[in-house]
Structure 1
Amino acid sequence: MNSSDTSAGDAPALAGDGRSARWDAHRQSRRTELVKAARSVIHRLGPGASMDDCAAAAGTSKSVFYRYFGDKDGLRRAMGEIVIGQMRTKVVDAARAATSEEAGLRAMVRAYLHMAQTSPNVYFFVTGTPPEPPSPAAQPAGEPLDDFFAELTSMMTDRMHAYLQNRGGGTAVNPALDLWPRAAIGMVRAAGETWLRTPDSPLKPSEDALTLTITGWLVSGMAGDPHGGNRRQRRRDTETPA
């Protein structure tokens, strides 16, 4: 066992700010090491992995994990800060790099699905979502995603207004449309989590196929073009001249 773990919860007598800063840096470094070890265990064993499993992987005792994180829910929150932070960076950067509003939506969906499918076990653990389909009465916890989805809601609201204006909709927008970003995020998450739970088979859509399909739903509705595009323009393109 790492001897430094035996006093992890009790700060030593500190002599000046420099020593205090070094102690804080040590604790943060050790905390990160423990989260990484636990993440590898969750990835292999699933969200049901125990604190004993995590401690064994880290080469320390279960009591050390409790000292640093309080309980398994505290570990989940700590891991969520890292995992959701990485997901946020990928999704937001993808959206900002897009050259159009529709491309931005597609990039966000693709980045979200890609990050989630990298390790479904870790995703379900940090979001507090059961890896099996929940009962109709169950409400997923999902609190590590709250700030992340709030930021995406704001970004999607701006993109929605820009998209409608570019289509010639002017500045007058139905106020009910402001509900669309939050509803869209709920749909993307529900579709993505159902996809993650679906066993591999020839019928399971690929990441690219699901990305295009969901983007089509967001832009054009249930029967939308999976490749996106302006519905009015598509109608003109397919009309037969008289």
Structure 2
Amino acid sequence: MGIVNITQADSQGAPAPGSPDGRSSRWQSHREERRRELIKSARRAVHLLGSDASMEEIAAAAGTSKSVFYRYFGDKAGLQQAVGEVVLSQMQRRIKEAAQSAHTPREGLLAMVSAYLQMAETSPNVYTFVTRHGSGDPEGSSGAVSGALGHFFDAIAEMIATPMRSHLGDGKHAVIGYWPKAAIGLVRNAGEQWLSTPDSPAKPDQEAMARQITAWLCVGIAPELTPAARE
């Protein structure tokens, strides 16, 4: 009941309505709520307009002015970082949930790759917006965006490494420090190329692409080669 009822001590320690602290708290709460709304609006705008949408276009789609976005996020890189933190957090949570439902390391890889591709395919424009920086932006302004993305892929690499550690042969544990990062590179580059490939009969669907990437991770390209090429 303590979480519901306010004790006398709590009452005495709380700022009175209308006090400077109370006004400051309400203003901060308002700013945080407004920031969340702007992030949602920006995400919808990018989904519709494309990853190269300008701040002016994003603001117009959100029904506000460009100056409002600059006030809350500083510049386009700041907006990308804010949207990226939300999007990448959701992707990380979804990938983790997928991995936890698997019974074997290979099932786990397939589940994680599938979740990654599904989330990216939901809105390629938003995915590109938070993982790449526009060529017209100032050099070096993408540091915060790159940092958030790096943390995301580091977390995914650890998710990949964890189940593998209990299935490695004797003396093979040092290898695990290299393979997850290599795996991330393969998944990301193959996935992004797949996302950017125009639809055609030759393009694999999401499920087939996830299975193909997982096969490359587990057994490599050898099964696709002729017997002579495998020697």
Residue 48 of structure 2 is matched in structure 1 by 44
Out of 152, 155, 158, the position equivalent to 2:156 is: 152
Residue 137 of structure 1 is matched in structure 2 by none
Q: Deviations over 1:191-239 (max 9, x none)?
A: 00000110000000110001111111111111359xxxxxxxxxxxxxx
Out of 44, 64, 68, the position equivalent to 1:64 is: 68
Out of 80, 83, 94, the position equivalent to 2:84 is: 80
CA distance in 1, matches of 2:81, 2:200: 33
Letter in 2 for 1:200: D
Structure 1 pair 195–150 and aligned structure 2 pair: CA distance change class (3 A): same
Asked if the contact 1:35–1:78 (Cα under 8 Å) also holds between the matched residues in 2, the reply is: yes
CA distance in 2, matches of 1:205, 1:36: 31
Shift of 1:145: 1.6
CA distance in 1, matches of 2:134, 2:28: 34
CA distance in 2, matches of 1:199, 1:42: 19
Structure 1 pair 47–66 and aligned structure 2 pair: CA distance change class (3 A): same
Structure 1 pair 73–205 and aligned structure 2 pair: CA distance change class (3 A): same
Q: Deviations over 1:32-53 (max 9, x none)?
A: 1111111111111111111111
CA distance in 2, matches of 1:129, 1:161: 35
Letter in 2 for 1:188: V
Structure 1 pair 88–198 and aligned structure 2 pair: CA distance change class (3 A): same
Out of 20, 23, 27, the position equivalent to 1:23 is: 27
Residue 182 of structure 1 is matched in structure 2 by 181
Secondary structure in 1 matching 2:83: helix
Task: List runs of 5+ in structure 2 lacking aligned partners.
Answer: 1-17, 136-144, 225-231
Q: Deviations over 1:58-112 (max 9, x none)?
A: 2211111100000111100000011111101100111112121111111100000
Residue 125 of structure 2 is matched in structure 1 by 121
Residue 204 of structure 2 is matched in structure 1 by 205
How many residues end up aligned between the 2 structures?
198
Residue 197 of structure 2 corresponds to residue 193 of structure 1: no
Secondary structure in 2 matching 1:109: helix
Structure with higher RCO (Cα < 8 A, 6+ apart): 2
Asked if the contact 1:80–1:144 (Cα under 8 Å) also holds between the matched residues in 2, the reply is: yes
Letter in 1 for 2:82: A
Letter in 2 for 1:58: A
Query: What is the TM-score normalised by the length of structure 1?
Result: 0.76
Q: CA RMSD in A?
A: 2.0
Asked if the contact 2:43–2:126 (Cα under 8 Å) also holds between the matched residues in 1, the reply is: yes
Residue 90 of structure 2 corresponds to residue 91 of structure 1: no
Asked if the contact 1:126–1:144 (Cα under 8 Å) also holds between the matched residues in 2, the reply is: no
Shift of 1:20: 2.5
